[in-house]
């Protein structure tokens, strides 16, 4: 395992050192794929977007500010690519928000379900719960979907999310709180539609 920091690897890549960029790709390809798969809901598209993201990193490497961290910059590029893809396709999430990379220890969508509701699903399969969660999240506004994916699924630090979304850390916290509250409200509405009348 190469001990160089991401930023050093990018600098080495810019200096023409062979293999430095490959190490960055190896470090982040699976993690980025899991994030993009959740966001766009399509494995083939996510695979293409991973490649496009790394191509953009390669092309823009000389514009990278070495005082910044590499990971948030990479996620910013990937999130922008995913947004462009979704706009171009005119659609939103189609499938697994629970796609996980081999080293992904983030929370799964079923873990967003409020604890009070868990007992009502003891008879249901885990897949039914995940499908219901995906359905709720797919109906949320894109900015709330994205903050849930970065905060709950990717488990990125608030400071990284702030950099990726170009918003203050306080806004990350309040937006994440709003996203969880919106999810809970929509979850209750979906699971108990008769009480909404």
Q: What CATH number has the domain bearing residue 166?
A: 1.10.1740.10
In a domain, 172, yes or no: yes
**Boundaries of domain holding 170:** 6-196
Q: Residue 1 above 90 pLDDT?
A: no
pLDDT at 139: 87
pLDDT tens by residue, 167-184: 999 999 999 999 999 998
Residue whose C-alpha is closest to residue 192's, from 117, 108, 125, 128: 117
The pTM of this model reads 0.72
pLDDT band at 132 (very low <50, low <70, confident <90, very high): confident
**Average pLDDT over the chain, rounded to an integer:** 82
Q: Is residue 152 part of a domain?
A: yes
pLDDT in tens, 97-129: 444 443 444 444 445 554 545 444 454 567 777
The pLDDT confidence band at residue 131, using thresholds 50, 70 and 90, is: confident
Return all residues near 116 (Cβ < 8 A) that are at least 6 apart: none
Measured distance between the N- and C-terminal CA atoms of the chain, rounded to whole angstroms: 58
Residue 66: per-residue pLDDT? 85
The pLDDT assigned to 107 comes to 45
Structural domain includes residue 16 = yes
Over residues 122-143, mean pLDDT:
76
In whole angstroms, how far apart are CA 122 and each of 19, 90, 128, 186? 50, 36, 11, 20
| Pick from 47-51, 87-91, 171-175: least confident | 87-91
Instruction: Tally the domains of the chain.
Output: 1
Predicted pLDDT at 194 = 53
Neighbours of 113 (CB within 10 A): 21
What percent of the chain is predicted at pLDDT more than 90?
Answer: 50
Query: What's the pLDDT at 133?
Result: 79
Mean pLDDT of 147-158: 90
Average pLDDT over residues 39-65: 93
pLDDT at 42: 87
The answer to whether residue 1 sits within a structural domain is no
Tokens describing residue 59: 């092309």
pLDDT for the residue numbered 44: 94
Q: Is residue 40 part of a domain?
A: yes
| Residue for token pair 């496009």 | 52
pLDDT of residue 57: 95
């Amino acid at each position: 395992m190469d001990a160089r920091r991401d930023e050093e690897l990018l600098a080495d890549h810019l200096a023409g050192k062979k293999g430095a960029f490959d190490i960055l790709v190896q470090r982040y390809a699976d993690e980025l794929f899991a994030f993009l798969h959740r966001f766009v809901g399509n494995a083939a598209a996510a695979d293409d977007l991973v490649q496009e993201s790394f191509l953009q990193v390669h092309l823009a490497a000389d514009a990278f500010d070495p005082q910044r961290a590499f990971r948030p910059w990479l996620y910013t590029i990937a999130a922008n690519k995913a947004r462009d893809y979704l706009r171009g396709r005119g659609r939103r999430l189609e499938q697994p928000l629970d796609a996980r990379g081999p080293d992904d220890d983030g929370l799964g969508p079923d873990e967003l379900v409020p604890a009070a509701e868990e007992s009502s699903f003891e008879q249901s399969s885990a897949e039914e719960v995940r499908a219901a969660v995906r359905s709720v999240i797919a109906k949320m506004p894109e900015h709330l979907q994205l903050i849930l994916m970065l905060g709950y699924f990717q488990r990125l630090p608030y400071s990284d999310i702030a950099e990726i979304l170009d918003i203050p850390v306080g806004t990350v916290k309040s937006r994440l709180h709003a996203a969880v509250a919106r999810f809970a409200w929509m979850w209750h509405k979906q699971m108990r539609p008769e009480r909404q009348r």
